[in-house]
């Protein structure tokens, strides 16, 4: 069992690739906003039972995040809470951003999530179905 993390009652390796974008795909994640986003992602991950493995802003309008999360962590809640907190921080610290968005929504409602592991789904099915 190489590369597994341990908590009280289990061992796991649960890595997630998350992608979400700004509303209207506005290119506001640039310069000091991008730097602040990186800081917020690191802090937020640590405070919410995740380990930030990688994060990157693309084209100034969407972010890719790769995290390892404990099994009890809800990825939906992680994205929802992060989006809420980061929008509040950005609208206060970078007031020029708020004027580009209606209704106080910085992020699109949806997001993409994919799990990442060392074994493909086909290999897992093969293992389970083996006699």
pLDDT tens, per residue, the chain with 131 residues: 467 888 888 998 889 999 999 999 999 999 999 999 999 999 999 898 899 999 999 999 999 999 999 888 899 998 998 999 999 999 999 999 988 988 889 999 999 999 887 777 788 788 768 86
Q: Which pLDDT does position 2 carry in this prediction?
A: 65
Going by C-alpha positions, the residue among 96, 95, 25 that lies closest to residue 57 is 25
- Which domains occur in the chain, in start order? 8-129 (3.30.70.1290)
Is the separation of the CB atoms in 61 and 21 below 8 Å?
yes
Q: Taking the model in full, what pTM does it have? A: 0.84
Cα-based angle 22, 29, 23 (whole degrees, multiple of 5): 10
What does the block give as tokens for 29?
């994640």
3-class DSSP state of 72: coil
Query: 48-54 — which CB contacts under 8 Å span 24+ positions?
Result: 48/73, 48/78, 48/81, 49/73, 50/78, 53/15
Q: Which pLDDT does position 18 carry in this prediction?
A: 93
């Amino acid at each position: 069992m190489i590369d597994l993390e341990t908590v009280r009652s289990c061992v796991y390796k649960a890595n997630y690739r998350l992608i979400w974008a700004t509303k209207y795909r506005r290119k506001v994640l640039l310069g000091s906003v991008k730097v602040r986003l990186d800081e917020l992602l690191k802090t937020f991950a640590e405070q919410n039972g995740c380990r930030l493995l990688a994060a990157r802003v693309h084209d100034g309008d969407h972010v890719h995040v790769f995290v390892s999360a404990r099994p009890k962590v809800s990825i939906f809640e992680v994205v929802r809470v992060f989006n809420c907190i980061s929008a509040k921080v950005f609208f206060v610290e970078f007031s020029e951003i708020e004027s580009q968005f209606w209704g106080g929504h910085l992020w699109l409602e949806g997001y993409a999530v994919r799990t990442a592991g060392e074994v493909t789904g086909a290999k897992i099915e093969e293992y389970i179905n083996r006699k």
